[in-house]
Structure 1
């Protein structure tokens, strides 16, 4: 898989922008689970640039604004037309001195507390605040962050009403039509939320975390098939399913249950037999689907990022995919990468 190759993102509105097939997810710049300092965060972005990565995804929620600050500082001074940046809306970050290390999984968050707000005014304010933290005059893509029934439980209806009837989507359309952004979509862990949103709004794209991976393909039909029909580009977040496909035994940000551990072991056994690192298979598998534009693993260090890039580019024999399908470890309907 060519790390430098680009695919069009934001196709539904005709504003397709070239995103590199491998991007950088920037949650780790916000200290996801482990703290990193400013110099280490800068080194990760510098390494991504050196490798040819030109798509960067962040969010106000990552490190309670820390990721946006660090990413903006690292990109400042680089030609603005040479990279694509996405951030997210749906949470407003409010000053709060009670924030402590470890809050919401952030090792060293800044003193801000998130408050969900999917209204018209909330979306516009979130966008403006992100520009200020990033130090940029524009971002390319805005994703509505963490909307969904699993995420919000009993409050889902309230937040969905803000987005649909309270003007949230209308604000995003306004920003796109005025040229303030090129594209918008959802950034979620729930594929069903993307399907619901496509029924009521003309999305350009979606960042789907952990729901179309080597481990699970429940979103294959009807969502990804529908995205191909509608020209909605998919960005794959969490290609290692919170790390279990990379060896950390975490799934959906928690300790993995026994059934998941057993399935991963079975996938790993097939990969070992083929002489292929499971991580390489995990990064390359989703890219075969025609709806998928980019895959954006995170990295805790420059060395980890270089390793991800090597796995992304590693040659994989076609027999691996055939064996995984034959043993029921991937959906037989799923497109698989062609051998180089």
Structure 2
């Protein structure tokens, strides 16, 4: 079985996700609009290629990502895919005269409001069920209980926390749904690992979706968080394995890192990694996608895919043979953590 079709179990559940999954931010028009038919084609081709895990959220395009994903998956064999979506962000109608910059241009006209009240969570689940319309949501994740304050640099703003509300209101609902078999796994999706570690100690979770924090460019969770997840049998899903762009595009002029322009020092670092990739006969994308999977706590990496060309590039990257000498050189040059486990 090729690596992208290989499956890893989520926690102690019966769910087995492919090591390559698909993140759904692009279907919500992240950065620029997508056409419905392009979303449909990518999702269908991903399933046909053997991928089975798709992640989405109400936040992505203010419901648009869920609608597009559901519209396609409704027409496919329900046993062929696993879906995760999220709770925590409420969608309120946007005033008619409202305008301004958004990560999701031409998305549905809603504004996101953090809502970890019991009713807010119940309403969010019901709305996601309606938008997806696939019968059952496999995985429910609490989304950004730090209001995304760590999105830009991965470090928590300790002044912004909905930890208590999430545990008091959302967790009992998700835990009850899991115990009754209405969902198969529960967890959280965040851009920081520090608060996830607190949640790991406070509840019984199956998986955490950690975006941008365990990549070729950052391994801060390695010493504390990932061992904790291994010990507690919590699987980690790696979102943003390209750090929102630069590890897919390379150090091009308009390269993005964590949703903004990549700084000069990071551009130089990526150029060095690119040169190493060329010497070893591999692509930067192959190194970026395969690296996180070297850790046994990691179940899947889920880059966004906006076109079939991106899907094909990612599939090729996952099947590429990355020599062990490449990982050794990365460590010798102090470009990754010296104790980072690497794919065999």
Determine the structure 2 residue equivalent to 1:245. 247
1:260 maps to 2:276: no
> Aligned partners of 1:275 and 1:75: how far apart in 2?
37
Determine the structure 2 residue equivalent to 1:334. 340
> Aligned partners of 1:49 and 1:16: how far apart in 2?
20
Instruction: Tell me which stretches of 4 or more aligned residues in structure 1 moved more than 6 Å.
Output: 99-102
Deviation at 1:268, TM superposition (A): 1.6
Q: Which runs of 5+ in 2 are unaligned?
A: none
Determine the structure 2 residue equivalent to 1:6. 7
Determine the structure 2 residue equivalent to 1:301. 307
Structure 1 residues 70 and 156, CA gap change in structure 2 (3 angstroms)? same
> Aligned partners of 2:195 and 2:158: how far apart in 1?
15
Deviation at 1:82, TM superposition (A): 2.1
Determine the structure 2 residue equivalent to 1:175. 177
Determine the structure 2 residue equivalent to 1:93. 91
Query: What per-residue deviation string (whole Å, max 9, x for no partner) do you get for residues 187-212 of structure 1?
Result: 11101121111121111100111100
Paired residue secondary structure (1:142): strand
8 A Cα contact 1:120 1:170, kept in partner: no
> Aligned partners of 1:118 and 1:215: how far apart in 2?
32
Alignment map for 1:271-290 (pairs within 5 Å): 271-290=277-296
Paired residue secondary structure (1:32): coil
Structure 1 residues 28 and 100, CA gap change in structure 2 (3 angstroms)? farther
Determine the structure 2 residue equivalent to 1:163. 166
Over the aligned positions, Cα root-mean-square deviation in angstroms equals 1.7
Q: Which moved more, 1:98-107 or 1:294-303?
A: 98-107
Instruction: Report the TM-score when normalising by structure 1.
Output: 0.93
Instruction: Report the TM-score when normalising by structure 2.
Output: 0.92
> Aligned partners of 1:132 and 1:19: how far apart in 2?
24
Q: Which runs of 5+ in 1 are unaligned?
A: none
> Aligned partners of 1:23 and 1:39: how far apart in 2?
20
> Aligned partners of 1:294 and 1:102: how far apart in 2?
35
